[in-house]
Amino acid sequence: MDKVQKCLVEQAITTRQPMYVCLDRVLTGDAKVQFDQKTIPVGNHIVANIFPTFPHRDQKRYLRRHLKKHPNMKVRVFTTGLMELNTYLPYFPPDMSEQTMESLPDDEIKETLHHAMPSLWKKQMTLQGYSYLNGSGFDMANIFKTRIENLEI
């Protein structure tokens, strides 16, 4: 990601076709194989079918509305994965020109984390008097882990 980001920034590449050309030149190994499998030749042009039309908006919407913790997944693993995914958001292509790509702020991460947990856990957290608006995302993850997950409610 650092190599790709450096190339895109230094060459001021912001549109899809030049991004494709840049990625085609920079990627190597498994990343290159995956990239080649996701491209489609259309006439004299090659179209990268890696991102949908509004990738940044759709990813943020999915995180906010549809993300759920799998019952067998530990809270710490889920939280770490969510935080890692959030760090990738600025690398998504912009939905429109001049759009600033950024990660979700901490309050949205907390809200996402809260809504991704099982309903019984959220109810138990409320009964214990904890508001997800207090503290950071990792603080809330610790509450879920220590007070709820470890108690096997």
- List per-block mean pLDDT (blocks of 10 residues) for the chain, which spans 153 residues: 74 74 79 74 54 79 90 88 88 78 88 89 82 77 76 54
- Collapse the DSSP code of 60 into the 3-class scheme (helix H, G, I; strand E, B; otherwise coil) and give the result: helix
**Distance in Å from the first CA to the final CA of the chain:** 40
pLDDT at 68: 93
pLDDT at 139: 78
Distance of alpha carbon 121 from alpha carbon 3, whole angstroms: 41
- Could you tell me which of 129, 133, 127, 88 has the C-alpha nearest to residue 109? 133
pLDDT at 59: 86
Distance of alpha carbon 4 from alpha carbon 110, whole angstroms: 30
**Helices and strands: H and E segment counts in the chain:** 8, 2
pLDDT at 45: 53
Tell me, yes or no, if the pTM score tops 0.85. no
